[in-house]
């Protein structure tokens, strides 16, 4: 997800997405690679190159509303947490291969 900041966009990743990413790499590739990716992402967070957004009670509540409202879609709850963050941060772009982001009118990259 990207948050508009004047002329540039800040790169955001939620803890839910980080969890999904590392878990998927662990399952599909290897534990060592998952640890490497996790450590690399956390270094980027520490350097403020990307911002880690924690899904707190507010985001969780908004995600629940989205999840309940879009009963005709098969959004995962994790998708809904991302949508909640995008709404609050006024982000309109997302780095995702997930077509659900199109339904929620977010521009997907790549």
Its sign, for the CA torsion 59, 61, 64, 65, is negative
Give the mean pLDDT of 5-19: 82
User: Is residue 109 a contact partner of residue 93, using CB atoms and an 8 Å limit?
Assistant: yes
Q: Output the pTM of the full model.
A: 0.85
The CATH number given to whatever domain includes residue 40 is 3.40.50.1010
Count of domains observed in the chain: 1
Q: Please report which confidence band the pLDDT of residue 8 belongs to, taking 50, 70 and 90 as the band edges.
A: low
Q: What is the token pair recorded at 26? A: 């662990």
Per-residue pLDDT reduced to its tens digit, 37-57: 999 999 999 999 999 999 999
Domain of 22, in residue numbers: 2-109
């Amino acid at each position: 997800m990207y948050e508009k900041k004047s002329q540039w966009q800040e790169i955001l990743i939620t803890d839910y997405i980080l969890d999904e990413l590392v878990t998927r790499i662990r399952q599909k590739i290897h534990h060592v690679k998952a640890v490497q990716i996790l450590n690399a992402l956390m270094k980027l967070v520490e350097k403020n190159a990307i911002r880690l957004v924690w899904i707190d009670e507010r985001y969780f509540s908004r995600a629940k509303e989205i999840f309940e409202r879009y009963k005709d879609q098969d959004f995962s709850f994790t998708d809904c947490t991302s949508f909640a963050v995008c709404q609050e941060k006024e982000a309109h772009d997302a780095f995702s291969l997930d077509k659900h982001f199109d339904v929620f009118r977010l521009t997907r990259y790549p």
